[in-house]
Copies of this chain bind each other. A is one copy, B any other.
């Protein structure tokens, strides 16, 4: 039920008339044009008229005549599955806003048709560029239409291509998680990896091994297990972890850690006393409120979104570590809580 709004848009014409000047003059003061020569009095009269009438420039007209819009499109495969996608949107929106851009959002549920429609819509709206994002780090193939404009892949990448992408540094993340345990003095560190093939699966494992190497701890194949990356997986894996004689465990993600906690409590084990644990993702709702609160490594979703627009806009910014030149690697910082010694 929309109320009636006889809202007759106040146009630049109106302001010009009210101020007794031409629209050109109004345009000049509105945009604070540098080269324009406008007298103090006229400038003031225009400003007053704008206030008086409550004038708001018409962004469409502006875009049309100036030739460049201030839209940045964001197409996501699953906007609401986890708070993750939300963080990407959040980061992208903040950064875009900072540079005078506005976010146009579309959700596709990974449906190719919806995806194409979304991209078409954005192209028609003359977006400055498109951010194509996924809710978990994975390989994708770029939809053809995307090539009609500038774009950046966020939290995903196209293998064997130089398609610009921004992804989390899984290897560094895995290394960081492991180091946290190493630094606490642990030597028999288990790693419960996910069963789903993915950059995270490979990357975190690589990081785990690299940290072990660096610390001079021999890699023991017996200590890396595979389980579904959910509570159930962690719950089921704990017994094996213990059987293998580990004193600490690195869970592929926080949800797994949550399930593992349950089983540990069931067996009367104390965390971190009997077993130190570190998670991954930093899924607030879970990690911050487990007992004890879970030490983990954060997936930098907000940063991914922000870095995505920076990359799109060609602003290299804070020199985020570069990957192979096509993919920027965003660091995964540790989040210290209480599940390690």
Which residues of A are at the interface with B, using a C-beta cutoff of 8 A? 1-3, 5, 7, 54, 56-61, 63-64, 69, 79-83, 85-87, 89-90, 93-94, 97, 102-107, 117, 120-121, 123-126, 129, 148-150, 164, 230-232, 235, 255, 258-259, 262, 265-266, 283, 285-286, 289-291, 301-302, 311-314, 316
Contacts and interface: CB of A to CB of B under 8 A. Distances in A.
Nearest to A328: B1
Residue of A83, A94, A123, A265 with most partner-chain B CB within 10 A: A83
B102 A103 contact: no
A279 to B, nearest CB: 13
A123 B60 CA distance: 11
Contacts of A259: 289, 291
Contacts of A266: 265
Contacts of A285: 82, 255, 283, 285-286
A230 B235 CA distance: 22
Given A86-B86, A93-B105, A302-B80, A289 B56 contact: no
A231 B150 CA distance: 45
A312 B125 contact: no
A301 B86 CA distance: 14
A7 B123 CA distance: 12
A48 to B, nearest CB: 19
B93 A106 contact: yes
